[in-house]
Amino acid sequence: MKQYTLLAAVIALAVLSGCSPSREKSVKTITSLETKLFAPTAMGFDKVKADSLLSAYESFMKHFPEDSLTMKITFKAANLSMNMGDSKKAIELFDKFIEKYPDNPKAAVSMFFKAYIYENQIKNLDKAKEIYLQFIEKYPSGDFTNDARIALKNLGKSPEQMVREFEEQHKADSIRVSDSLVALKPVKHSKKR
């Protein structure tokens, strides 16, 4: 009876260890898939390869949550999800990154991308505004702070509206410059004879 219990335990351990991929194999798979998906010779976006890469990222995050590569892989997975148009998954992964790595500089980028997703993919302008404002408050001198301010200024505007406003602003600036140049021009006085 003890032999069967010991044999069952050995088999269970072998099955369980066989289900969990090795770190090296996972990294090799990810590297290979990234190379194939992002190769300079790749013709367009390959959804099948992207799905495979995302699955490999998720598997790595699940099996190696405390690994030094997990931070980088979480950010890559969030970006890939965003670019694939999977807004829900992207936001979930950006939130995970922000929560787990709040002091990493990419936490700011993750928050900005969350607002971008709400604005451009989900079309929830109220939520986008909320997150852009949180971003500006939390990162007042960050790399994307000016972009967040511009996004807030243009939130909900069509491209045509933005072009029209830009042209109007450009015209107003040109008139101001012309007026300034005229004001600086010396006045010639004619001599009376």
CA distance 169 to 156: 19
In a domain, 188, yes or no: no
List all residues 6 or more positions away from 80 whose beta carbon is below 8 Å from its beta carbon.
50, 53, 54, 57
More confident residue, 183 or 127: 127
Helix (H, G, I), strand (E, B) or coil at 14: helix
In a domain, 11, yes or no: no
In a domain, 16, yes or no: no
In a domain, 168, yes or no: yes
In a domain, 55, yes or no: yes
Q: What predicted TM-score, i.e. pTM, was given to this entire model? A: 0.74
- The total of structural domains in the chain comes to 1
pLDDT in tens, 14-46: 444 445 679 999 999 999 999 999 888 878 888
Pair of tokens at residue 36: 């194939």
Determine the structural domain holding residue 84 and report its residue range. 22-176
In a domain, 181, yes or no: no
In a domain, 89, yes or no: yes
CA distance 131 to 7: 56
Mean pLDDT of 130-138: 97
Looking at residue 31, which CATH number applies to its domain?
1.25.40.10
CA-to-CA separations, 179 to 47, 83, 85, 183, 185, in angstroms, rounded: 56, 47, 49, 6, 10
pLDDT in tens, 51-98: 999 999 999 999 999 999 999 999 999 999 999 999 999 999 999 999
More confident residue, 13 or 171: 171
CA distance 62 to 168: 53
Residue 8, pLDDT above cutoff 50: no
In a domain, 100, yes or no: yes
